Structure 1
Amino acid sequence: MKKTIIICQLLAFVSCSVLAQGDINIYPSNWWVGMKNTNLQLMIHRDRVASEKLSMLPYPGVKLIKQSKAENPNYLFIDLQVSAAAKPGMLKFRIDNLQSPEAVAYRNFEYELKPRNKENGKTRALGVTSKDFIYLMIPDRFSNGDPSNDIVGGYRDQTSNRKDKFSRHGGDFKGIENHLDYFNQLGVTTLWLTPVIENDMPLMNEWGNNVAGYHGYWFTDHYNVDKRFGGNDGYKQFCDALHKKGMKVIQDAVYNHVGNHHWFVVDPPMKSWFNTSQGDKGPNHREEVFYDPYASQLDKNAMLDGWFVPHLPDLNQRNPYVASFLIQH
């Protein structure tokens, strides 16, 4: 199911896009010192990284606890402990090629620990209360402030048609930003956007219709904002503009599923990353099974593990690696 996260600051997926140094991708893209939970799990995605040797240079307050290989040799999970004594800075890692010991060591790569903003909970990142007036919107459907990003080269969906209710219509951050005074006049204090994370999906068949992912619920990269809305930089600019008006942002996130063109669907870390007991069958939508003492396990599984539609693989949150990836995002 989807869960809403309240934010008044930009999260990891905005503060730094996917960290790609050469052909190495690290998730989450950065972290912070001073977190209550001192545990941090990094997921490293690189061709056959599990067959290589990874080491971390000494860093005060940070300890490498363990390394875990996945079924897929292209992944490696690194558990770190970031103590309260750790200071902001760059962790330095090294990867050596065990298949060719005589080869020059792979370039060192770094991972950033950022300082937390001391104003969180005081003058920023305040969350919402019953005093807030929340306006919910689908960004693609609100206002087109920048027609140049309606169709982005390289994306699988190359359509934009306001006459088609199933197509993208071109709404973006700039369009919303252009109407902030309108929201102020209404008395709105908080904007709740449907998900803005990248949905690089082609048109998909849903109940006989060719549908675009304009709503934002088909994630393909958790650590990038969709360029058709304005991308990472556009999102930061948008949030800054809202804050200057004294307004807040609610970031909508999806923890139940992803689009089938997500990079970890194309190259899954392990078989148990997704719920597969129902294959690509949809859920039975019998929510009452969760409080019915006589409900069958078959019905419970069908509700919990069923894929919403065939192109939205259902995430297995019982897998601890999946849980860490989602929680840390």
Structure 2
Amino acid sequence: MRKSINTILISMLLCSPVTFAFDSVRRVEPLNWWVGMSNPKLQIMVTAPGAKQSWALKRYDGVTLESVEFGDSPNYAFINLNISEKAKPGELELSSNDDKYRFYYTLSARAKGSADREGFSTKDVIYLITPDRFANGDEHNDSLPTMKEKADPTFRGGRHGGDLAGVITHLDYLQKLGVSQLWLTPALLNDMETYSYHGYSITDLYQVDPRMGDNSLYKTLSVEAKARGIGLIMDMVPNHIGSEHPWMNDLPTQDWINYKGQFVGTSHARQTVQDTHASEFDKKRFTDGWFVPTMPDMNQRVSFLGNYLTQNAIWWIEFADLSGFRVDTFPYSDKTFLQFWLKSILAEYPNFNIVGEEWTSEAGISAYWQKGHQNKDGYESYLPTMMDFSLQQALVKALNEEENWNTGWIHVYQSIAKDFQFADPNHLLIFGDNHDMSRIYTQLHQNVKNTKLAMTLLLTMRGIPQLYYGTEVLLDNGESDDHGDIRIDFPGGFKNQQANAFTGEGLSREQREMQLYTEKLLEIRNNYPALQNGGLIHFSPFDEMYAYARGDEHPILIILNKGNVQKTVDMNRFAEIIRGKVSATELLSGQKYELENVMIGAKSALLLAL
């Protein structure tokens, strides 16, 4: 029986580290599609020498070829199909007018309930991993002859060998820890000369980097994680590609890359998006400028590219059964494109969740992008979730500063008090650190007790908590703020390490204590809905303490003491929360408390279930 050309293409892309070519048809993207999608339109991008010509579709019930469009290069064709409701799974046959090219394109059946999938939510705790630095599950793919950069574990900016197999091997550890969502920094192909380990210079948007595994293994990761109650979040990068991407040698249109494909740096002046006085020059320089010369900035105003990026996102959701996206450098993309991209994805998956990175402590700038926010310029965003950099910075200041009326906990209080600016503050992603900043233990000057207080707040506060891998065992980048040191190897994930965080062997007493404390906090959060989606009332800081309550019917009162001495807490200030109750159970210790004057230890927390 004849095996379809595109089936072979997909099979080789899923299982092989090499790029497949057939009859000089270099690429057909998306790799396949599905019947029964909300949007019947599909634009297939064909890459082949001389592809700029007429194309025909052999008769297929329910599918019509509406048009073929072209850019500036003679080597691309954009075939516009309409896939109606009556179309069935099968293979489309498409051929070029000169009959030089012919390929078979697979239409698949969607998984049951795919459109109704639930995205990550306030019920979840996200665990962020830089896969090259987490665990090496397959040493055979560390260095490959087809890849430009080889493994160099001794170089902080080199590839250390972590991969998808390593993550899969340790899913039981993540399940035991208590996390319910997994966010990997990009695992797609980064065939760059140097610094390819971080994943943000993508050179193929449809292929997992073979040093990480392949598409099939990525799908296995999703399946195995889901079997343990863990969803998979993909890190999407619609703003830029890597300079070694094949497009850079043959741009589909002359304006495919901003500034005519030549490096002009971004200003990083994110406020220009909302600034009613901003010049057009400054607006363009922010969104169109490149981060670095090795990251060409894509011009999503080109309709072909906008369609390509949107279909690519939908393809990964459907193919890998994803529960969410984290969008890198969100505001740097064209904001009209972002509307189209988000609206298209959420039309297919109404309950899907997407979180955007807007690195600012200014709530007003961040709130601009969240779905439901009424913007003065009339711009309507469809982004459900934002990263809460304001709370992250406030938390570090609060725990590092001496307490006074305008220092210490007041930063956290004021950050939370700005929630009125957000359309939905419960859908803010809260975190102590991530892959782009010093580790929280480092930021808190290696103070274990303060790190515990930080984790307590993050796992009991409103929002969706995210932990960076190794926070639970006090990973530390010391005096260095080099990203290669921030993204340190996870203990036990690589050969010849003295400690193993997966088993607990070789960890210091403080590391093991922190690990168990994190597990306990996660257990409590997972067992008490009030900490997931309950209302929030907080109290102005007092006597080196910050307190807040979660939940309505059965509230939990959280009191955090950063002071160096034991304190007596006058519970009368919490009368509106206590409402006549006389006792509570402290969730960390299980101890019973009478709700009169409560004692709290130095640099410790109370979680009082009333």
- TM-score exceeds 0.5: yes
Structure 2 stretches lacking a partner, 5+ long:
1-9, 313-610
User: Which residue of structure 1 aligns with residue 272 of structure 2?
Assistant: 289
Query: 2-side partners of 1:63 and 1:121: how far apart?
Result: 23
Q: 1:138·1:215 contact (CA, 8 Å) conserved in 2?
A: yes
Match of 1:315 among 287, 295, 298: 298
Q: Which amino acid aligns with 1:47?
A: P
Is this contact kept in 2: 1:93–1:108, CA < 8 A? yes
Measured in 2, the distance between the counterparts of 1:40 and 1:259 equals 26
Matches within 5 A, 1:81-230: 81-97=82-98, 105-106=99-100, 108-120=102-114, 125-158=117-150, 160-203=151-194, 212-230=195-213
**1:14 offset after TM fit, Å?**
9.5
Q: Within 2, Cα distance between the matches of 1:113 and 1:68?
A: 21
Give the aligned residue type for 1:72. S
In structure 1, give the amino acid aligned to 2:217. Answer: G
Contact 1:279-1:306 at 8 Å conserved across structures: no
Q: How far, CA to CA, are the matches of 2:145 and 2:199 in structure 1?
A: 18
Query: Which has the larger share of helix?
Result: 2
Which residue in the other structure is 2:349 paired with?
none
Q: Is the 8 A contact 1:49 1:73 kept in 2?
A: yes
Residue of structure 1 aligned with 2:50, choices 48, 51, 61: 48
Q: Which deviations, in whole Å up to 9, do the C-alpha atoms of 1:40-74 show, x marking residues without a partner? A: 11111000111x44211111111111111221000
Distance of aligned partners of 1:59 and 1:74 in 2 relative to their CA distance in 1, 3 Å threshold: same
Sort the Cα spacing of 1:15 and 1:193 in 2 relative to 1 into closer, same or farther, 3 A.
farther
- Give yes or no for contact 1:14–1:223 (8 Å, CA) kept in 2: no
Indicate if the aligned counterparts of 1:279 and 1:307 stay in contact, CA closer than 8 A.
no
Change in Cα spacing, 1:82 to 1:53, as seen in structure 2 (3 Å) is same
**Residues 277 and 154 of structure 1: CA distance in aligned 2, closer, same or farther (over 3 Å):** closer
Task: Give TM-score, length-normalised by structure 2.
Answer: 0.47
Output the CA distance in 2 between the equivalents of 1:15 and 1:239: 20
Q: Secondary structure at the match of 1:276?
A: helix
Shift of the alpha carbon at 1:108? 3.0
- For 2:284, the aligned partner's letter is N
The CA deviation at 1:292 is 1.3
- In the TM superposition, what is the alpha-carbon distance from 1:265 to its structure 2 partner? 1.7
Distance 1:278 1:170 in 2: 32
Q: How does 1:244-283 map to 2 (within 5 A)?
A: 244-276=227-259, 279-283=262-266
Which residue number in structure 2 is paired with residue 26 of structure 1?
A: 28
State the partner residue of 2:220.
Answer: 237
Letter paired with 1:315? M
The answer as to whether partners of 2:272 and 2:283 remain within 8 angstroms in 1 is: yes
After superposition, give the CA deviation of every residue in 1:249-273 in whole Å (9 maximum; x if it has no partner).
Answer: 1011100000011111221111111
Pick from 37, 42, 45 the counterpart of residue 35 of structure 1.
37
Q: Which amino acid aligns with 1:108?
A: R
2: CA distance between counterparts of 1:202 and 1:143?
Answer: 23
Query: Higher strand share goes to which structure?
Result: 1
User: Quick check: 1:55–1:93 contact (8 Å CA) kept in 2?
Assistant: yes
Aligned mates of 1:278, 1:261 — CA distance in 2? 13
Classify 1:324/1:306 alpha carbon distance in 2 versus 1 (closer, same or farther; 3 Å): same
Q: Which has the higher contact order (CA 8 A, sep 6+)?
A: 1
- Residues 143, 121 of structure 1: alpha-carbon distance in 2 compared, 3 angstrom cutoff: same
Give me the identity figure in percent: 39
Q: Is the 8 A contact 1:14 1:232 kept in 2?
A: no
Q: TM-score, normalised by structure 1?
A: 0.86
Give the counterpart letter for 1:194 in structure 2: T
| Structure 1 residue ranges without an equivalent (≥5) | 1-12, 98-104, 204-211
Distance in 2, matches of 1:320 and 1:156, equals 32
Residues 1:16 and 1:170: Cα distance change in structure 2 (over 3 Å): closer
Deviations 1:231-254 (Å, cap 9, x if unpaired)? 222222222221222211101110
Residue 75 (structure 1) aligns with: 76
Match of 2:381 in 1: none
Query: Quick one: which amino acid aligns to residue 148 of structure 1?
Result: H
Opposite residue 150 of structure 1, the aligned amino acid is D
Please tell me the residue identity of whatever aligns with 1:43: M
- The answer (yes or no) to whether the contact 1:278–1:306 under 8 Å persists in 2 is no
CA distance in 2, matches of 1:96, 1:319: 26
Number of corresponding residues: 298
Query: Which structure's CA Rg is the greater one?
Result: 2
CA distance in 1, matches of 2:148, 2:304: 29
Shift of 1:107: 5.5
Q: Which moved more, 1:61-70 or 1:107-116?
A: 107-116
